[in-house]
Structures are given as structure tokens and as C-alpha cells.
Chain A
Amino acid sequence: MTLTEIFQKKSQFVTRKVGNEMVLVPLKDNIANMNEMFTMNEVASFIWESIDGRNNENVILTSVIEAFDIDLETAAADYDSFLESLSKMMA
């Protein structure tokens, strides 16, 4: 799933920031699916908020590296893992 597709589907979630973490509740036909509620850690929340319809993968990865003081390999692994989970949830 592309970043553009993810951005377009963000409105299908109710979100709530809790400290640096986040809760996502998916909506299907405007009905919330409480059984598929999704929680995101600090890095995943940061990536979610960075998906704004303009930032590309390189921009987001650079931001993650700077924000969390981690190397590219770790950031890329976190990014791939998060997008994979997100794609499954949005499928």
C-alpha cells in the first residue's frame, strides 16, 4: 500500500494520542470496529502523523532517524514493519 493510499484512508480511523503513543479505531461503513482497535508505540505514532499526503518515504525516514536518534537500518525496519501492519489493517 502506498503512502498516498494510506493518507487517503486515514479518515477511516478514529485516533487518540496518549502521551507519545496512539490508539486507532477503524471505521467500516461508519461503524467502529472495536475488536480491531490498534495501538501504536512512539515510533509508529510519529510515522502515522508524518503521513500527511506530501512527505515521501525518504523524508519520513530522515525524520524518524533525527527524532529518535537511531540508524537508517533500524528506522527502515521500524518503518517497513509499521507499514506492513497498517496495510493489513487497511486491507
Chain B
Amino acid sequence: MAFVSKTYILNIGGFNLKLFSKSNVDISLDIGYSSFIEADDFADDFTEIEIIPSIPKELKDENALVFETNDDTKKLWHICSHEDGYKVIVFSPLQLDLIQQIAIINPQSKHWKIYTEFTGVNTVMPLSYPMGPLIMYYLTVANNAIMIHSSGIIDGEKGRLFSGFSGVGKSTMASIWQQAGYGLINDDRLMLTIENGRVMMYNTPMFYEAVPKKQQLHAIYLLKQTKENVITKLQGVDALTRLMAFCIQHAYDKQFIEHHLTTLFVISSTIPIYELGFKPDAEIIDFIRLHE
């Protein structure tokens, strides 16, 4: 199921995105965005994205390519320098080499554009995957924020985040806490923001419907698999660099890297970061509470 409107305000990670079109086109969003839609008059501070139906031929060149992501068989998304910032070319996940959208984005500006092909008679889907997550990434580098592959847990007033390499047990850890009655923010991708000296974690729109959640973060755990539960507090550059490994980051812009380092410095200076080896059972809950 998708939502259709002429204009939207989305609130993601506490940041407002206004989607609008000067054409009389219906803008459709995937179900995952539905709970993130705010009332039209909700926000006076937002980044606006003009949605332009159809992609001009002259925009499709890749002369100033700076970065590309492909898999074995097809192009996924390519980034080019552009006079107005970056040109983000997103290819269809379903049809080989078909350009799905092109975004013109400058994180220093609050006026972005997405050119997109029609998906229906008078309908466009400007944030269809992977454009949506790419827009969220640029939203983080435009603000005091970062996205991280992680699970977030709510324990009363406390927020805990679990991150680590794929397969290390993030979802398992989330499931253990959830089965014990604790709140789950998300078990895949979280946005961390710095607000008034506090680190906040937010869920972000996924492919399924989920209520937007927000929780102050009190500790970060970087997971590893061990036979027994073991915890080590990380310090200084070690904490920062190990946390950085699990963040979503684009490497083609020096300012983006500076932004990530600065944001992670503030986060690692504000809340403790632990390395946590765990065996997957409910004992880990008391173990964490005892040792943090």
C-alpha cells in the first residue's frame, strides 16, 4: 500500500523534509513513510525537495562521476559532481541500467531536487528504494546526525544501542530484550542526533510500517560473539574509530568525513561505548545492567 498526495512534510530524526511539486503530479510514498508524515503546517524549518516528473536527457550523463555502487550484475547508484552540489543517479533495482531518479543535492542548502520517472498515469515515487535512504544520509551530513546499523532498546528512561558487523547478533540481542518486555526502536538502521548536549536515537522509515520512535541514548554496545558474557569499556580514538566502522558513510567528500568524525567525537565523548561479547540468552540483560 502506498500514500498519495500533492505535498508532504516528513519528520525523520527530528528533521523536516518537505516534498512538493510545481507540476500537478501525485506524489506517492511507500508504506514505510506513512507514520512519518506530519501535518502540512507542522513545520516552519525544513529542507524542501522539489519533485520534478520525468528526467531530462542532459541530466543523465556521468561525466563528473565521483563514486559508484554496483553489484555483480547491475548499477545501483552513482554520484557525480554537479554545479549545484552532487548529482545522485539511482538505478532501478528491477530493470537493468534504467535510471529511476536523479537527485540534485547540496547539504549546505535547504533546496534539493529529485527528477523522477512516472510510475503511474500521473504518479511519481521519488523516494522509492534506494533514493529514500540516500536522502536520509544527506540529511545527516546536513545536520548533527549520523546513521548506524544497529538495534535500539528502551529500558524505562534509558536507551541502549547495539551495533556490530552483519550476523554478529544485533537482531538476536533486540529479540532478547523485546521478549523480556522492553521497547524496541528498530533492529536495522537508526539515526543518532545531538540535541542540547544529549544523544538521541530515532528509527527511520523502512520497507514496513513502523511508528516513529525517539529515545535518549545512554550507552552503545559493539557486539562480538563469545562463549561467555564479557564487557570492556572503550576509550578515546579506539571508541570513536570502532563505532565509525558501523556507521553509514560516504567517502567521496572530505567534508562528509569531517562531519562524521566530529559527530562521532561528540557522541563518544557524551555516552559510554562498550565492546560486548555475549551468549544469546536472557542473562545478558542483567549482565549489562550490572556492568554499565
Contacts and interface: CB of A to CB of B under 8 A. Distances in A.
Contact of B251 (A21, A32, A39): A32
B287 interface: no
Nearest to B247: A34
B237 A25 contact: no
A37 interface: yes
A interface SS class: strand
A31 interface: yes
B86 to A, nearest CB: 13
Interface string B200-243: 00000000000000000000000000000000000011101100
A18 interface: yes
Nearest to B255: A14
Contacts of A37: 241, 244
B42 interface: no
Size class of the B contact interface (CB-based, 8 Å): 20 to 34
B40 interface: no
A19 B236 contact: yes
A23 interface: yes
A27 B237 contact: no
Interface in A34-77: 34, 37, 39-40
Nearest to B239: A18
Given A21-B237, A32-B257, A39-B241, A16 B251 contact: no
A23 B261 contact: yes
B284 to A, nearest CB: 29
10 contacts: A14-B258, A16-B258, A16-B262, A23-B237, A23-B261, A30-B66, A31-B66, A32-B251, A32-B252, A32-B254
Given A16-B262, A30-B66, A31-B252, 16 more contacts: A14-B257, A16-B265, A18-B240, A18-B268, A19-B236, A23-B240, A23-B261, A25-B261, A27-B257, A30-B254, A31-B66, A31-B251, A32-B257, A39-B237, A39-B238, A39-B241
Interface of B: 66-67, 236-238, 240-241, 244-245, 249, 251-254, 257-258, 261-262, 265, 268
